[in-house]
Structure 1
């Protein structure tokens, strides 16, 4: 069951609902969105009905939810959400009315490399900069990222370009320091079911980009988002990045059908990562076009000034003519599906 509070509900109104629910042995999870507060209830439904929660001050509506994911379901929030990234007054939207282009280096390697990649991304129409300071790698011998030094580089590049930044966090203990620098926290595919990390990210106060686990079902993916929402954070963006199948022609198999399926089930925005799905530069453009055509709320791709010497995922990073062609696609194609390109903040 979900209690939807009115926009003018006070903290005291919310506390009164929580007190009532806990008084009959239930649990109440408060999630504060940009427009209103939602309270997810867990416990005996019949006991909740007897509380007459609709009569309490500040309560706008009460919904009985059958989906196991309650806070991120469209059953209680029919209209799809928009998540805003960046500082107030210079925010970038990710939602149903826009196509948001996110680009940058897979890994932050140096200040110069990151700045050049960010300038390439912005010139191509990117409104948000991606870049990894902490890199979870399959091999323990592969480049693991620059850590806090990488975060500092990203912060400097944000000042230089005006682009808000999204970067991955791989350990719950690192959430406070990553949240100090980042505008948005990324949870990667290997950590989608790291429930302690999901909860810590949910408590950070920052928007969260949640990638689908490489072997996760859509319901498991949405349940992971529920862990974040349950900690009071509804600013979650879902990212389809390909799933592991029997097909070896690409690194992963991009499940393009997941975009409309998830958009029908959840109010959260859904973007697509064609770079990590394919692992091949030549497939990034056609997969990006497919993502836009199917109604994705954004695409996130790798760019690098010198892909041949990249320390991480060089074979999929774009530059030159490939990037210019993608820039045309993200500017022209959104209008065909009723969207507008999201614009980068003015420097």
Structure 2
């Protein structure tokens, strides 16, 4: 249930209403939007009479039941207004959201060594990326595939951040590793295979780093949003939803089916920012540019793109990774679509020379 307050409601009245509603055994969450202030009521509201709430104050404009099973995640919970997730990075604050410029995240599937990750970070930053992605812990279908370097790779991500000032996004697979990952990451990623790992969702919800929640390979939209609800119910409101392709029946030509229709669907259902991962969504580097441009046209708030200095020798996901040179040209192509959609800003000029890696 939400309580919509009239414009100009005094702060003292908001505090009084919150205290009164809390005394009824409800959790009250205040949301300040562009046009309205909304009090979200969480708890046993099934038997609560909206007219009883309405009578509490003349400053209450409307009392509305949230019909969706996902409450905090629902767009109704913010009275139709989008939320934003603002991430602190060494280069400043970066906002994700419907009314902000597109945010590009780029980097390799796995952190392989310091030279490779620092070089890639410098290249993607020079092209306009705001965040570096790189896996320290990697969930793999085969137990014999490269699983990542673990904790030592987190130190390499720190080196890349120190060299570039990029924000860091990396995946957590186990609740036991969360503190180590959160100490390094500016955004903690929950991968597709862990989307319904409910103990992990509760743990990432109980810490304060923003969470990048990928859609499960066979998850419905409602299951995905309910996973986000777990995180928000644990106390963390900063969730970014990432579509990374769902399992289809024709895997001969593409790794997954990238569901771009999810963008307008999510816009109608949730206030949370939306990201698209065309690299996992297609599994082939040659398809990534088309899907990235289509995602911007459809209204995505962010793109996650895999980049590797030498995809043919990558320890994981080489076929879907772009070279730094192709990423440079792609960012110029994306700028055309991004500007047409009013979602692009001029990238800042970098004051360092691009490094040269021998044997690349």
TM-score (ref. length: structure 1): 0.88
5+ unaligned residues in a row in structure 1: which ranges? none
Matched, 1:81 2:87: no
- What do you get for the CA RMSD once the two structures are aligned? 3.0
Tell which structure's C-alpha radius of gyration is larger.
2
In structure 2, C-alpha distance between the alignment counterparts of 1:148 and 1:83, rounded to whole Å: 27
Structure 1 residue 56, shift from structure 2 partner:
7.5
Please say if residues 40 and 77 of structure 2, whose CA atoms lie closer than 8 Å, have aligned partners that are also in contact: no
Please say if residues 92 and 344 of structure 1, whose CA atoms lie closer than 8 Å, have aligned partners that are also in contact: no
**SS at the partner of 1:98?**
coil
Structure 1 residue 29, shift from structure 2 partner:
7.5
C-alpha spacing 1:92/1:44, structure 2 compared with 1 (3 Å):
closer
Match of 2:305 in 1: 301
> What is the aligned residue count?
343
Please say if residues 2 and 38 of structure 2, whose CA atoms lie closer than 8 Å, have aligned partners that are also in contact: no
Match of 1:28 in 2: 27
Structure 1 residue 8, shift from structure 2 partner:
5.1
Matched, 1:55 2:59: no
Deviates more, 1:44-53 or 1:133-142: 44-53
From 262, 265, 277, the equivalent of 1:261 is: 265
C-alpha spacing 1:88/1:124, structure 2 compared with 1 (3 Å):
closer
Matched, 1:184 2:184: no
Match of 1:240 in 2: 243
Matched, 1:133 2:136: yes
Matched, 1:330 2:330: no
C-alpha spacing 1:68/1:286, structure 2 compared with 1 (3 Å):
same
Match of 2:71 in 1: 70
In structure 2, C-alpha distance between the alignment counterparts of 1:224 and 1:33, rounded to whole Å: 24
5+ unaligned residues in a row in structure 2: which ranges? 352-360
Greater relative CO, 1 or 2 (CA 8 Å, sep 6+): 1
Structure 1 residue 173, shift from structure 2 partner:
2.1
Matched, 1:163 2:166: yes
Please say if residues 127 and 342 of structure 1, whose CA atoms lie closer than 8 Å, have aligned partners that are also in contact: no
From 108, 111, 120, the equivalent of 1:105 is: 108
Runs (4+) of structure 1 moved beyond 6 Å?
4-7, 9-15, 31-37, 56-61, 344-347
Structure 1 residue 346, shift from structure 2 partner:
7.9
